[in-house]
């Protein structure tokens, strides 16, 4: 019973799991909060107190309801953690940031300082800190206890948001500095700019950075401190409204020699690669761009200039909802022959037929300018394409009747692994969304003769879905008027065994 309880309690209040590959999400670990168990009976609660690993993560509002009890709750929580490594997430509440009552704000500040004092006694055991608060003195007190006079600092993930004022200066003139102690995080998240001189950390150890709500100059100034160690960079929305200090300016090019992965997501204000016109990234091989909710176009020209200037080889490319024309996308992909893994998510209005035309065998035969000759993996989410154009990837003459003779030669893209998630603006799918019978037969011939297959899924398809998209397509066309007769005219017999076999395959 104790083991069952331990497992269930560990999963019942979990949050977003730690993701070392995406700097933006590293602060969001699994959460365990003492307040979640206030309504649990005493017997169950006494069992829970016996498991230190249940309490290794604290997510606590410094100024939320019941803030006066915060110091006691945090103190009790720390008692339960034993000697375990800790993850601490402190934040202000929206109510506090909008509260203009000076007495209440003073009480909140006093309690926040007391919480910080308590946490500081154990902060040397913290491996992850997410400190998003307007009380910079709280951040200061906690960070002073997180370092070590030796190289044994446990802090690896640090997320800071100091709530800067509109004038670009901190609300408190605090220097987060202690010459005796210096933690060495590898992952840093900066949601507003605190000058590096104010933060006593070992900057040379940082490998992952997520930055947003910084001015362009502050962003470059921050990069200049970690340019030699940074391997993964994720950039959110940068701003231009803040007044930069003259001490923050950085002029001239900056080389990020170790950078291998660059991600752009401009959620609120938009983000353009024009910000990287002075950047050189010779080791860059992965690039992703998230255009959800943006009105600015995918900066194709700026990105290609970055690649050309850096002399790097892009192997992994990911675009989510890019605002880009067919011609721009074709130009971009043709200019990146080194791409091996391509992931594209398009909106309902994008036509992927030109993309399939570019991937056709005929284009691959062009020795002077082949289209993505090294492509190994294509992951695509889009509305239903013109299905005959899909077969162009493996067949020079997709309009012909399906037969063994059509695929006498082994397709040049035989080893290309394709996953296609078919989206539809209407539910259920229209008959034209489903794969047509001729294409289904051609897919079956490819599978039988050359073991070539692709994975087709309904957008958002679940693993336990009764029918796969291939089977849905076959049944939909058979049930349509004249469907059975059209299937007989193809003369290839019952296709269902091949459909079921292909539907069971996964990469």
Report DSSP letters for 151-177, one per residue.
S-----EEEEE----TTSS-SS---B-
Residues making up the chain, counted from first to last: 507
The overall average pLDDT reported for the chain is 77
Backbone angles phi, psi at 454, to 5 degrees: -130, 160
Greater pLDDT, 438 or 494: 438
For residue 400, being part of any structural domain is answered with yes
For residue 131, being part of any structural domain is answered with no
Greater pLDDT, 183 or 270: 183
For residue 499, being part of any structural domain is answered with yes
For residue 20, being part of any structural domain is answered with no
For residue 192, being part of any structural domain is answered with no
For residue 345, being part of any structural domain is answered with yes
Give the domain extent around 504: 325-507
| Whether pLDDT at 12 is above 60 | no
Task: Quote the pLDDT of residue 84.
Answer: 84
Burial 15-36 (b: 16+ CB within 10 A, else e): eeebeeeebbbbbbbbbbbbbe
What are the helix (H) ranges across 89-212?
94-97, 102-120, 136-144
pLDDT more than 70, % of the chain: 70
pLDDT more than 90, % of the chain: 27
Task: Quote the pLDDT of residue 484.
Answer: 86
For residue 439, being part of any structural domain is answered with yes
Domain count, the chain: 1
CB neighbours of residue 167 within 10 Å:
8
Q: How confident is the model over 86-97, as a mean pLDDT?
A: 70
For residue 134, being part of any structural domain is answered with no
């Amino acid at each position: 019973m104790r083991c069952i309880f331990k497992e269930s309690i560990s999963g019942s209040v979990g949050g977003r799991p730690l993701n070392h590959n995406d700097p933006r999400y590293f602060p969001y670990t699994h959460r365990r909060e003492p307040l979640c168990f206030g309504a649990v009976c005493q017997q169950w609660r006494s069992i829970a107190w016996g498991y230190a690993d249940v309490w290794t993560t604290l997510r606590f509002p410094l100024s939320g309801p019941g803030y006066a009890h915060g110091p006691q709750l945090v103190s009790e929580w720390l008692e339960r953690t034993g000697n375990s490594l800790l993850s601490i997430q402190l934040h202000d509440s929206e109510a506090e940031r909008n509260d203009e009552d000076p007495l209440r704000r003073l009480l909140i500040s006093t309690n926040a300082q007391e919480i910080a004092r308590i946490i500081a006694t154990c902060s040397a055991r913290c491996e992850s800190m997410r400190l998003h608060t307007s009380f910079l003195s709280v951040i200061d007190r906690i960070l002073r206890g997180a370092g070590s006079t030796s190289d044994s600092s446990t802090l690896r993930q640090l997320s800071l948001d100091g709530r800067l004022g509109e004038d670009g200066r901190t609300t408190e003139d605090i220097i987060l500095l202690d010459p005796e102690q210096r933690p060495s995080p590898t992952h840093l998240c900066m949601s507003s700019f605190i000058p590096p001189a104010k933060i006593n950390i070992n900057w040379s150890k940082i490998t992952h950075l997520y930055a947003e709500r910084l001015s362009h100059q502050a962003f470059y100034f921050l990069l200049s401190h970690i340019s030699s160690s940074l391997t993964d960079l994720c950039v959110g929305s940068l701003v231009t409204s803040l007044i930069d200090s003259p001490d923050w300016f950085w002029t001239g090019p900056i080389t990020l020699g170790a950078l291998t992965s660059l991600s752009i997501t401009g959620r609120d204000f938009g983000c353009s690669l024009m910000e990287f016109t002075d950047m050189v990234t010779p080791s860059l091989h992965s690039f992703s761009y998230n255009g959800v909710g943006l009105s600015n176009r995918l900066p194709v020209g700026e990105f290609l200039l970055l690649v050309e200037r850096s002399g790097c080889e892009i192997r992994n490319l990911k675009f989510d909802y890019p605002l880009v024309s067919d011609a721009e996308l074709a130009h971009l992909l043709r200019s990146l022959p080194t791409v091996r893994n391509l992931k594209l998510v398009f909106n309902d209005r994008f036509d992927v037929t030109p993309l399939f035309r570019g991937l056709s065998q005929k284009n691959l035969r062009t020795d002077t300018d082949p289209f993505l000759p090294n492509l190994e993996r294509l992951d695509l989410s889009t509305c239903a394409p013109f299905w005959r154009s899909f077969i162009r990837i493996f067949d020079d003459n997709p309009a012909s009747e399906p037969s063994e003779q059509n695929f006498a030669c082994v397709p040049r893209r035989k080893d290309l692994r394709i996953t296609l998630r078919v989206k539809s603006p209407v539910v259920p799918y229209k008959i034209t969304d489903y794969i047509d019978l001729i294409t289904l037969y051609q897919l079956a011939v490819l599978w039988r003769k050359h073991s070539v297959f692709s994975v087709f899924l309904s957008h958002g398809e679940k693993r336990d879905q009764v029918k796969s998209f291939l089977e849905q397509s076959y049944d939909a066309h058979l049930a349509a008027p004249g469907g059975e007769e059209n299937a007989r005219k193809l003369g290839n017999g019952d296709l269902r065994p091949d459909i079921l076999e292909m539907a069971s395959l996964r990469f």
